[in-house]
Amino acid sequence: MEELTSLADLLDLQQVDSQIDRLIEQRQNLPALDEYRSADVTLRRLVAEGEAAAEQMKETGRSLDRTNGELEIARAKADTEENRLYAGGLSARDAGYLRQEVEMLRTQVSGMEDEVLEMMEAQENEEAESDRLDGLVEAAKANKQGLEAAIKTEWGRIDAEIEAKEGRKAEIVPLVAEDVLVLYTELRSTREGQVVGALTDRVCGACHLRLSATEERDALREDPPRCVHCRAILVP
C-alpha cells in the first residue's frame, strides 16, 4: 500500500513538474518578447539615423559658415576693386583690365550667393528631418518602455505561479520513495513528455498504448512497474 501511495504521489509530482515546465516555456515565449525585440531594433535604427542626420546638419553648418566667410572676402575684394575703377586716374588699358576683374569677382560673388542659398535650404530641410527623427526616437523609446513594463508585469505573475508550484512540489517530493524519485529525475532529464502514467484497463497513461495481459504481468513484476512500450513508470 505504501508503494502504491508513493507511486500515486509520483503522478502528482509529474503533474506539478509539467505545470512548472509550461510556465517556464510561457515565460520564455511571451508574444511581447518578440515585439520588444522588434521595438529595440527599430529604436536602434532610428537612433543611428538621427545621429547621422545630426552629423550631416553639423557638416552643412560648417560648410555654410566657411562659404559665408569666403563670400564676405570676395564681396570686399569686389567692392575695393570697383571703387578703384570708379575713382579714375587709370589708363584705358588698366581700366579695361580692372573692369574685367570686377566683373569676374561679381560673377564669383553671385555664384557663391547661390551656393549659400542652396546650403541654407539644405540646412533647413536637414533640421526638419532631424526633428522628425527625434520625434520618432522618442515614440520608439516610449513603445519599448511600455513593452518592457508589460513583460515585467507578466513575468511577475508567472514567477508567482512558479513559486506556488515549487512550494507544492516541495510538499510532494518527500512522499515519493527515494529510488523511484531518482529514476523519475533521470527519465525527465533524458526524455520529453510524460515519464509516469497511470495504468488503467491495461492502457499506459503515458504512451496510451494497451498492454496485453502478459505484458501487464511483466510490467507489474518490475520495481517500480514500467511500461513495456515507452518505459514510463506505471502507477497501477
- How far, in Å, CA of 160 to CA of 169, rounded? 14
Specify the residue for cell string 552643412.
60
For residue 70, being part of any structural domain is answered with yes
Fill in the amino acid letter for 186.
E
Which residue has better confidence, 110 or 92?
110
How does pLDDT run across 69-108, given as a tens digit for each residue?
A: 999 998 998 888 888 877 877 888 887 887 888 889 889 9
Residue 195 in any domain: the answer is: no
Q: Tell me whether residue 197 is in a domain.
A: no
Structural domains in the chain (count):
1
Q: How far is the C-alpha of 131 from the C-alpha of 141, rounded, in Å?
A: 15
Residue 179 lies in a domain: no
Tell me the whole-structure pTM to 2 decimals: 0.71
**Cα–Cα separations (whole angstroms), residue 27 to 31, 34, 139, 169:** 10, 12, 27, 19
Least confident of 85-94, 157-166, 198-207: 85-94
Quote the domain boundaries for residue 48: 29-159
Count, in order, helices (H) and strands (E) of the chain.
5, 3
- Domain membership of residue 71 (yes or no) is yes
Q: What is the pLDDT of residues 6-44, one digit of tens each?
A: 788 999 999 999 999 999 999 999 999 999 999 999 999
- Tell me the pLDDT band of 59, cut-offs 50, 70 and 90: very high
Residue 132 lies in a domain: yes
Residue 117 lies in a domain: yes
Residue 207: which of 215, 218, 216, 199 has the closest Cα?
199
The answer as to whether 105 is a domain residue is yes
Return the CATH number at 84: 1.10.287
Give CA 63 to chain center in angstroms: 38
